Amino acid sequence: MTSITQGSTNVYADLEFPDSEQMLLKAQLAEKISQIIQRRHLTQTEAAIILGIPQSKLSLILRGQFRGVSELKMLECLNRLGRDVQIIVKKAPRTKPHGRISVVFA
């Protein structure tokens, strides 16, 4: 019989990546960048020009290979795709030992 274990909402944490929160954040940002590019019917070459990055780098990002890309660069990409980015810092709940990073798309 196969045993099934329910994972968390962060596959990177489930796989015990040391930088799991950052990886999840980048994955969410990459997904949004991909959605915008698809919605605008842009080729990777066209999108790369808009984003100011090489097409090969964009291809890596869209395939989930974003370790060499900073969160700031990904936020800049969203700006170049016509999105405002707002960062809100608030106090973490008392029940949590430390704060967390999350992305909310409006």
pLDDT at 15 over 80: yes
Structure tokens at 34: 């991909």
| pLDDT at res. 72 | 95
| pLDDT at res. 96 | 81
To which residue do tokens 């790369």 refer? Answer: 48
Question: pTM of the predicted model, to two decimals?
Answer: 0.84
Q: Where are the domains of the chain?
A: 15-106
| pLDDT at res. 99 | 83
Instruction: Name the CATH superfamily, with its identifier, for domain 15-106.
Output: lambda repressor-like DNA-binding domains (1.10.260.40)
pLDDT digits (tens, 9 = 90+) for 87-98: 888 888 888 888
Task: Map residue 67 onto helix, strand or coil.
Answer: coil
